[in-house]
Amino acid sequence: MDAWRWGVWVLVAMLALFLWNVVWVAAVRRWYRPRTTLPQTLRARCADGWELTVHARRATVRRFEEPVLLCHGLAANRFTFDFEPPYSVAHYLAEAGFDCFSVEWRGTGHSRSPPPGRRYTDFTIDDHILQDGPALLELALKETGAKRAFWLGHSLGGLVGYGVAQGPQGEKLAGLLTLGAPVHFKSGPLMRALISMGVRAAWPARFRQEWMSASLAPFLGYVTLPLSDLLVNPEHIPPRIQRQVYANMMSSMSRKVLLQFQDWIEHDAFRSFDRATDWREGITRLRLPLLVMGGSSDRLATAENVQSQFALASAPDRTLHVFGRDHGDKMDYGHGDLIFGTGAPSEVYPVIREWLEQHATRLSSPAEPSEPSISLQRQA
């Protein structure tokens, strides 16, 4: 009888702890939500029936024909690029005259509407390249009436861009900009151990690290999490921004995606899930304009990695830019610092804008923002 009562009390305590954590996470996300106007919310349906959510930030005064597709990386969401100014690429480029479309890849954020018969964790990076990317591109072109678009991807978002550029939709890209995207995966024991742990933690479907990130977010700036410098350098990001990023930007990871990354890391490959398509080799055949960017202290996409990635390209119009003190910048940029570092709005964002302006089609008469055709406004 005592054992039964003990078991009941343990069960009640676990339930109470779970409920307390639910309330805690909800309160943290509410308190640290970005204070900015909400973007327009659109829907993009992929060829396989999966529905994506795309967040459109329209230009204050549209000066350029081509829209900019903003594509986040692994374990992130649309807040990577559409955040609270001044740490918001979407706001920055919209002010410069570009319509911006921030995607949330399938299984991420609001893009959790799979077709019948599939779970929202049932996908690989192949699906991002073959399904999500083309759907995002078609939606942006339809919304703006443009013939081509620019692709700006951070980390995995840049890798997806390389894959899309090699497919049948590649001709609709006016240029590809990658930011901290590691095409080479020569990694040491630490990275192999971490990806192996991630695959195990994701069994049977996904790794929900965003719950832990939001739970710990209020303490950042006072304490430093182990291995946090793999993602961002805490010394380069204001404490409140750290708390906002960890509370809002982290997303769960599909086990299949982690298994694909495990293959890449163990075999130094950038290829499809079935290993039949070599996207890294395909970079050598790309002809569209390229801007390859990285950080001098990025531990995931190292400066050497970015430079060797650039060396693969044979496009006649290609540019390499590594941000760091050796190049006259105020800091040595890490992976997330390229977007959220204190120097990013004044050093990284202008390089992106200037490159886009040089390659975009300027409208003869600037256009006012268009009326939303499909708008589903939501609180973040």
The secondary structure of residue 130, as a DSSP letter, is I
Residue 206, phi then psi, degrees to nearest 5: -160, 160
Question: What does the pLDDT read at residue 377?
Answer: 35
The per-residue pLDDT string of the chain (380 residues; one tens digit each, 9 = 90 and over) reads: 577 777 777 777 788 877 888 898 899 999 999 999 999 999 999 999 999 999 999 999 999 999 999 999 999 999 999 999 999 999 999 999 999 999 999 999 899 889 998 988 999 999 999 999 999 999 999 999 999 999 999 999 999 999 999 999 999 999 999 999 999 987 778 788 889 998 998 898 898 888 888 988 999 888 887 777 778 888 899 999 999 999 999 999 999 999 999 999 999 999 999 999 999 999 999 999 999 999 999 999 999 999 999 999 999 999 999 999 999 999 999 999 999 999 999 999 999 999 999 999 999 876 666 544 433 333 33
d(CA 201, CA 211): 13
Question: What does the pLDDT read at residue 38?
Answer: 93
Is residue 28 situated within a structural domain?
A: no
d(CA 228, CA 193): 16
Is residue 193 situated within a structural domain?
A: no
Q: Find out whether 3 and 10 touch, Cβ atoms under 8 Å.
A: no
Is residue 328 situated within a structural domain?
A: yes
Question: What does the pLDDT read at residue 21?
Answer: 81
Mapped onto helix, strand or coil, the DSSP state of residue 238 is coil
Question: What does the pLDDT read at residue 376?
Answer: 36
How many distinct structural domains can be found in the chain? Answer: 1
d(CA 302, CA 179): 11
Question: What does the pLDDT read at residue 99?
Answer: 98
d(CA 75, CA 53): 16
Question: What does the pLDDT read at residue 1?
Answer: 53
If you write DSSP's letter for every residue of 23-72 in order, what string do you get?
Answer: HHHHHHHHHT---SPPPEEEEEE-TTS-EEEEEEE--SSEEESS-EEEE-
pTM of the model: 0.92
Mapped onto helix, strand or coil, the DSSP state of residue 314 is coil
pLDDT tens digits, 234-255: 889 999 999 999 999 999 999 9
Residue range of the domain that includes 130: 39-184+277-367
Is residue 99 situated within a structural domain?
A: yes
The end-to-end CA distance of the chain, in Å, is 48
d(CA 236, CA 342): 6
Is residue 33 situated within a structural domain?
A: no
If you write DSSP's letter for every residue of 245-302 in order, what string do you get?
Answer: HHHHT---EEHHHHHHHHHHHHHT--B-TTS--BHHHHGGG--S-EEEEEETT-SSS-
CATH number of the domain encompassing residue 343: 3.40.50.1820
The secondary structure of residue 86, as a DSSP letter, is T
Q: Write out the two tokens for 363.
A: 């409208």
DSSP element (H, E) containing 350: helix 344-359
